Amino acid sequence: MKHNSRIVVLASGRGSNFTAIAAAIESAEIPGTIVRLVTDNPVAPAIEIANQRGIPVQVIDCGSRRGRIRMAARPLLLKCLADADAIACAGFMRILPPSIVRAHPARILNVHPSLLPAFPGLESPRQAIEYGVRVAGCTVHFVDEGTDTGPIIFQAAVPVDASDTPETLAARILPHEHRLYVSALRLLCQGRLTIRGRQVIIEDEEQT
């Protein structure tokens, strides 16, 4: 990949992963530039974060069906991603359609607040508590045509306490998301990630 990758971030909400990525770019930890933030939520706090950092924002009306991107929104989304070397889903609560995933092979990353393949989809910390697991965590993975099913790059585990609520568990997981997402995006931008079957091979892994 190029020395200065063009990165598009997709986010729906708070934007803490977006902030972690933007900070890592500013400190030159990630060799790239965020060329735009794309959001499906016109009141996402992530928009204000982008504005403060001078990052262009595109709001796309993805429709009211939870998790889906309506057909009419797809051409604009494709256009917003067309110049990207790397695409980072950072709390983007929509499933990318196959046409978009196929247009960007091995270029789209996602962070998910569970140890995949456990608890894909929405409200993963709540799912983990309700299931009764003792260990939870997060996963950074490539996006494929499924829901949270793509090849795994990094995972981190945290304990689940008996007193945890979905909020306290999510808060324990979050710093690990930020750390792993920055590491994975750096490797992608450095061209050091290769997908082989379901496995992700990291070039010079000892230097991560």
Residues interacting with ligand GAR, by CB under 6 A? 11, 13-17, 90-91, 111-113, 124, 170, 174, 177
Q: Nearer to ligand GAR by C-beta: 5 or 17?
A: 17
Give residue 123's region: left, alpha or beta (phi > 0; psi -120 to 50): left
Structural contact between residues 118 and 139, judged by C-beta atoms closer than 8 angstroms: no
- Of 3, 104, 112, 178, the catalytic one is 112
Closest chain position to ligand GAR (CB): 91
159 closest CA partner among 168, 150, 151, 147: 168
Q: What share of the chain is helix, strand, coil (3-state, %, to 5)?
A: 35, 25, 40
Closest CB 12 distance from ligand GAR, rounded Å? 7
Q: Nearer to ligand GAR by C-beta: 75 or 146?
A: 146
Catalytic-residue membership of 112: yes
Cα angle value 94/97/102 (rounded, 5°): 130
Closest CB 189 distance from ligand GAR, rounded Å? 19
Q: Nearer to ligand GAR by C-beta: 97 or 113?
A: 113
Closest CB 121 distance from ligand GAR, rounded Å? 7
Q: Which amino acid is at 175?
A: P
List Cα–Cα distances, 200 to 7, 195, 203, in angstroms. 20, 5, 10
Closest CB 18 distance from ligand GAR, rounded Å? 6
| 111: β partners | 140
Q: Nearer to ligand GAR by C-beta: 5 or 114?
A: 114
Residues annotated catalytic, as ranges: 112
